[in-house]
Amino acid sequence: MRRLAGSVATILLASLVIFVLIRLVGDPTHLMLPPEATDDDRALLRQELGLDRPMVVQYATFLFDLLRGDMGESFSYRQPALPLVISMLPPSLMLAGAAMLMAVALGVPWGLLAAYRPDGWADRTGRVFAVLGQSGPPFFVGLLLIRLLSVNWRLLPTSGYGDVTHLVMPAFALSWYSAAGLLRLTRASVTEALRSDYILTARIKGVSDRAVLLRHALRNAALPIITFTSSQFGILLGSAVSIEAVFAWPGFGKLIVDAISQLDYTVVQAGVVVAAVLFIAINLCTDILCAALDPRIRLGS
C-alpha cells in the first residue's frame, strides 16, 4: 500500500516537473502557426489550446483529465496524445526487449566463462569487448553496422520497421553497451562468489565444476545481475532515441524528442506519464523476482 502511494507520488511529481519545464521553454504557437500569422491568430490558438489560463489551472485540468484517461490532443498531429504515445510503445518495447535479450545472452555467459578461467581466452577477449562496448556510442555502432552489413554486404535492410531482419541491427547496436556492462558485472560477481566459503564447501563435497558454477556461484551472483538488467531496460528505452533515428525505427523515444522540439506539450506529458508508469512496473517486477530468488529479501520483514 505504501509502495502504491509512493508510485502515484512519483508519477505526479514527474508530470508536474515536465509540465512546468516544457512551458518554460517557449511558446508552441510560434512553431504551430505559419510565419505569416498575426498576434491575434496566436492569441486565438493559445485560447483554443487552453494555454492562456494560469499554469495552476492548466495543471489542475490536466490532472482531472488524467483521471479519465484523457491527456489532451497532440498539437502537431491533431490526434489524442495518449493513444498516439501508446501506439508507439510496441516497437520500442520490442526493440528494447530484443536488445536486452541479446545483452543477457552475450554478457552473462561470457562473464561467467571469464570468471571461471581468469586470464583465459574468454577473459581476455571479454576485456577488449567491455572497453569497446562501454566506450563506443550505440549510434556509432549502428552506423558501422549499416555500412558493413547493409551497404557493403547487402545482408540486411538499412532501416525501417518490419520483420525480424529490420530488428537485428538496431537491437544489436542498442545491446552493445549493456552487454559490456553485464559482462563486467557477471565476471565480478561470479569471481567474488567463487571465493566464498560455501563454494569451497561445495568443492570439498565433490560437486562438479559445472554445477558449482551454475547452481551455486551464478545463483548467488544473480541478484546484482538482475537488478542491473532491469535498470538497463529503462536506459535501453531511453537511449533507444538515437538508435531509433539512425534506423528510422518508429519508436516512443523519437516521438517524445520530436514532441519536445515541437513544443507539443500534450505528447510530452503523456510520454512522461507513460514512461513513469512503465519504469515503476519494471521495478516492481524486479523486486518480486529478486524476492523469489532470494529468501533473505521478503517484503515487510
Partner 1 sequence: MTLHRRDLNRLLLAGGAAAALPGVARAAGETPVAGGTLNWAYYPDPSAIIAINTSSGTGQAIGPKVNEGLLWYDYDLNPQPLLATAWTISADGLRYTFHLRAGVKWHDGRDFTSEDVAFTIFRLQQAHPRGRITYQNVIAVNTPDPLTAVIVLSKPAPYLITALGSSESPIVPKHVYETFKPEEQPKLEQTIGTGPFILKEWVPGSHLLFVRNPNYWDAPKPYLDRIILRVILDPAARAAALETGEIDIGANPVPLADVARLKANPKLIVDTTTYAYSGPQQQLFFNLENEVLQNRNVRLAVAHALDLQKLVNVALFGYGDVSPSPVSVALPKWYDPSIKAYPFDPKLAQSLLDEAGYRRGADGVRFRVRLARNPFLPSSYSDFVRQSLAAVGIGAQIINVELSTYLKIVYTDRAWDLTIESLSNTFDPSLGVQRAYWSKNFKVGLVFSNASKYSNPEVDALLEAAAIEPDEAKRRALWYRFQAIIHHDLPGVDLVAAGAQIVASKRVHNFAPGAEGINYSFRDIWLSPAV
Asked if 247 interacts with partner 1 (CB under 8 A), we say yes
Asked if 260 interacts with partner 1 (CB under 8 A), we say no
Q: Rounded to an integer, what distance in angstroms lies between the CA atom of residue 158 and that of residue 149?
A: 8
Q: Are 202 and 247 in contact (CB under 8 A)?
A: no
CB atoms within 10 A of CB 167: 20
Q: Are 271 and 277 in contact (CB under 8 A)?
A: no
Range in contact with partner 1 (rule: CB under 8 A) among 54-62, 188-196, 255-263, 271-279: 255-263
Among 263, 268, 270, 280, binds partner 1 (CB under 8 A): 263
Question: 229 or 266, CB closer to partner 1?
Answer: 266
Question: 79 or 196, CB closer to partner 1?
Answer: 79
Asked if 36 interacts with partner 1 (CB under 8 A), we say yes
Asked if 293 interacts with partner 1 (CB under 8 A), we say no
- The dihedral through the CA atoms of 32, 35, 39, 44 has a sign that is negative
Site string for partner 1, 49-88 (x = CB under 8 A): ---------------------------xxxx----x---x
Smallest separation (angstroms) from partner 1 to the CB of 78: 5
Site string for partner 1, 220-239 (x = CB under 8 A): --------------------
Backbone phi, psi, residue 230, to 5°: -70, -35
Range in contact with partner 1 (rule: CB under 8 A) among 36-44, 95-103, 188-196, 209-217: 36-44
Among 70, 109, 134, 161, binds partner 1 (CB under 8 A): 161
DSSP letters, 109-156, are HHHHHHHHSTTSHHHHHHHHHHHHHHHS-HHHHHHHHIIIIIIIT--S
Asked if 135 interacts with partner 1 (CB under 8 A), we say no
Q: Rounded to an integer, what distance in angstroms lies between the CA atom of residue 55 and that of residue 159?
A: 41
Q: Is 47 helix (H, G, I), strand (E, B) or coil?
A: helix
State the alpha helices, DSSP H only, in the chain.
2-25, 28-32, 39-49, 55-67, 81-87, 89-116, 121-135, 138-145, 164-194, 197-205, 209-211, 219-246, 252-261, 265-293
Among 68, 69, 163, 261, binds partner 1 (CB under 8 A): 261
Asked if 164 interacts with partner 1 (CB under 8 A), we say no
Smallest separation (angstroms) from partner 1 to the CB of 143: 5
- Per CB under 8 A, residues contacting partner 1 are 26-27, 30-31, 33-39, 76-79, 84, 88, 143, 146-147, 150-151, 154, 157-161, 245-248, 250-251, 254-255, 258, 261, 263
